[in-house]
Structure 1
């Protein structure tokens, strides 16, 4: 679906990434987004948090991902 948005995109936004948008669908078939939020899976961890946990001695458990 074509989406039109004017503004800064979230830091996590990249090509092929799922997003959540808030806006309205125009009669021309173009969705005009007022807000765009980047989606991530439930295993996402902010790089700063991952670094802090690593510095504190946290060990990753099998199946967990730290980015």
Structure 2
């Protein structure tokens, strides 16, 4: 949210609407990255879509990628 406001105020400065950015002293809230893995059901629905019309090499790549990333 702070980043969005900072961008808006910077644009207002560029357009000459204001002189200072009031968000400059505010620290951004750091959010923890969260890791999410596909469930078995999600993976079983995703694989046919990814690999449906691909050739055999592409299918192996799709399957390997999904397994590696989940």
Higher RCO (CA-CA < 8 Å; seq separation 6+) = 1
Q: In proportion to residue count, which structure has more helix?
A: 2
* Structure number with larger C-alpha Rg: 2
TM-score bucket of the superposed structures, by smaller chain: under 0.3
TM-score by length of structure 1 reads 0.22
Q: In proportion to residue count, which structure has more strand?
A: 1
